[in-house]
Amino acid sequence: MAKMSRRGRRKTDGVDTEDEGGEGLQEPNNRRRALILCTLALPVLVAFYASVLWWSNPHTPGDELRIDEFTTMLSQGRIQEAEILESDNRIVGRYDRGQYWVAFSGNNETIFARLTSALEDAGVPYSVTQQPLKNLVMPVTLLLPALIIVDGLFIMFLLFSRGGNGFTAFGQSKARRLQSGDSKITFSDVAGLDEAMEELVEVRDYLGSPDKFLAMGASVPKGILLTGPPGCGKTLLARGLAGESDVPFFSISGSDFVEIFVGVGPARIRDFFKVAKEAAPCIVFIDELDAVGRGRGTHSLGGTDEREATLNQLLVEMDGFESGSGVVVLAATNRPDILDTALLRPGRFDRRVSIERPDIRGREGILRIHVRGKPLSEDVDIEEVARRTVGFSGADLANVVNEAALLAARRGASVIAMPYFFEAIERLMAGPERRSRILSPQDRHRIAYHEAGHALVSSALPGTDRVGKLSIVARGHAGGFTWWVHEGGDQVSVTRTQLLDRIASMLGGRVAEDVVTGDLSSGAVSDLDAAVSLARRMVTDFGMSARLGPFTVRPLVNGALKEGLVGAGYSERIASEIDAEVQEVLAEAERRAREILVDQRAVLDAIANALMEAETLEGDALDALLLPVTRVSPTPVG
């Protein structure tokens, strides 16, 4: 650990460090003086270079004569005297009209010999002047531009060093160090992630008091990888660990290692772990690890692959020859399937903690954390809000609470009531209401039957959720919406029968339009997309195809099934079978939805008429309209 000094403090390598003797105060002053001197030296060098260039050019008075004119005047006896300037490559002198000068090429010995011979033949006295100072012009004209360039580069170096350490700042990591007490978030601010917190609490306890673990011969995990969908609390867990731990905590994003310049990525990796090892024992957190840890391939045709070089350096730092450095690596990603296999092996990441969307108890705990300090109405039931937010992540729940508070403030309420939470959930799922949108009578009639068809088919089939609300008030891009409420606990898995019933309920609105109006509209495009996607997943991902049987057809790469990779791991025959099976599933779902709607047309009309009159149906009014619905037998399997 670095020693603390009261006499100076400086910031290097992206973290705060202490130095002795006030060096941190002297360094900016020295850099400022050097910048001033270099800036003043630059115009002096440029002026001196321009003076040398001007002085090196010949400056001779008189008339300029061509070589042929000069030789003619020599034969005529008009030249009186001549002086050969060796460095200037000129002949100067006097003739019958005054002074003259003749320029010739000093590199051409033939011309020089011809001119001297003409002078001797004409009997004109001449002399040769050496000009020794001008012999230094050539090295000076080479040296001065180099000095000007070096001075300019040094000025840029000093300017860059204001925010870093000159050009070496490119190779320095952008890690941020948190001292003990800097993070205001602790594990008490995290809910719904009990199992994941246990893993991190163990790391915190080991770094704080390793004696009881060492007594058992146990060692702290070198790396812990947090995986899960976006918004489920991976980064929040890391921030909580920073607030709980009594050791230095460094955080950085995986994209901070990525740079267009060759060699910068590995340099930043080396610098990051160098700073961490100097502060060991410590914890480093790499967010969005997939930005730097993506799997290596054989696509490179030559040269240096900067991304792979960066990954190789990360692999070496995490478990190279210098292992056992006391640095615990905590990383987070929502794409573990694309990470390199060498990065995931034990010894680098000993533990993989999966963080999924919270269950109902987890959602309730998260909601209670986010409603702290907010004025709630007495009728607010957090458990009911948790039941209506199935599939929501922690970030979604935080958004629900914040949106409810905004709605209450916008409408002048003094407390946040339950309706505000329900409306916040609807806004998050379908978008804000668009009451200013005026529907034509034809569209209003069609949308009402569309939503009534969803409600009727869903209520008739046993494998679907309960319909909690119907509305023909536009939200977002949708003309109306049907809100399903999941009852009971969260489902871990879904059966084939339930999926077929859900597809039939998705197509219920489109079929209702056809049954009532005899025509189809483009308003069912989102329902079709969801139904086709679910049917294709049943065939390709879940192995629920009657044609293909227990067979998954995701892309096959290096002997392992991985999602999101280019290329299909199946033949054209299998692709044709997939398309045919998907079409059969959709056709069967549409047939069952049509049977329900035709057999119970009276209930459909009653729901649609009530919806056109009230625009929104929920609660007891909706339950009364759905009470006459006759339940049908489950969708046959096979």
* pLDDT tens track for 402-459: 999 999 999 888 999 998 898 888 888 777 777 666 677 888 888 889 988 998 998 8
- Which pLDDT value is given to residue 401? 92
pLDDT higher than threshold 50 for residue 299 = no
Question: Directed axis angle between helix 441-460 and helix 572-599, to 10°?
Answer: 100
Binned at pLDDT 50, 70 and 90, residue 194 comes out as: confident
More confident residue, 5 or 253: 253
Query: What percent of the chain lies above the pLDDT cut of 70?
Result: 81
Q: What is the mean pLDDT of residues 464-474?
A: 82
Q: Give every CB contact of residue 218 below 8 A, 6+ residues apart in sequence.
A: 206
Q: What is the mean pLDDT of residues 19-39?
A: 62
Cβ-based neighbour number of residue 514 at 10 Å: 18
Instruction: Please report the beta strands in 502-637, taking only residues with DSSP state E, as ranges in sequence order.
Output: 556-557, 560-561, 616-618
Lowest mean pLDDT among 88-92, 376-380, 419-423: 88-92
Tokens found for residue 234? 């991976």
Q: How many residues does the chain have?
A: 638
Tokens found for residue 475? 């939200």
Binned at pLDDT 50, 70 and 90, residue 586 comes out as: very high
Q: Which domains, from first to last, does the chain contain?
A: 9-55+137-171 (no CATH), 58-131 (3.30.720.210), 176-295+305-354 (3.40.50.300), 363-430 (1.10.8.60), 441-626 (1.20.58.760)
Q: What is the mean pLDDT of residues 364-377?
A: 89
For residue 249, the SS3 value is strand
Which of 121-135, 230-244, 314-328, 478-492 has the highest mean predicted lDDT (pLDDT)?
A: 230-244
Which of 45-59, 299-313, 361-375 has the highest mean predicted lDDT (pLDDT)?
A: 361-375
Catalytic residue annotation: 451
Q: Mean pLDDT in the chain?
A: 77
Q: Enumerate the β-bridge partners of residue 478.
A: 475
Report how far residue 58's alpha carbon sits from residue 88's, in angstroms, rounded to the nearest whole number: 6
CA nearest neighbour of 364 among 343, 385, 379, 344: 385
- Which pLDDT value is given to residue 468? 81
Tokens found for residue 20? 């002795």
pLDDT higher than threshold 80 for residue 382 = yes
Which burial class, exposed, middle or buried, applies to 472 when counting CB atoms under 10 A from its CB (0-12, 13-18, 19+)? buried
Q: What is the mean pLDDT of residues 207-224?
A: 77
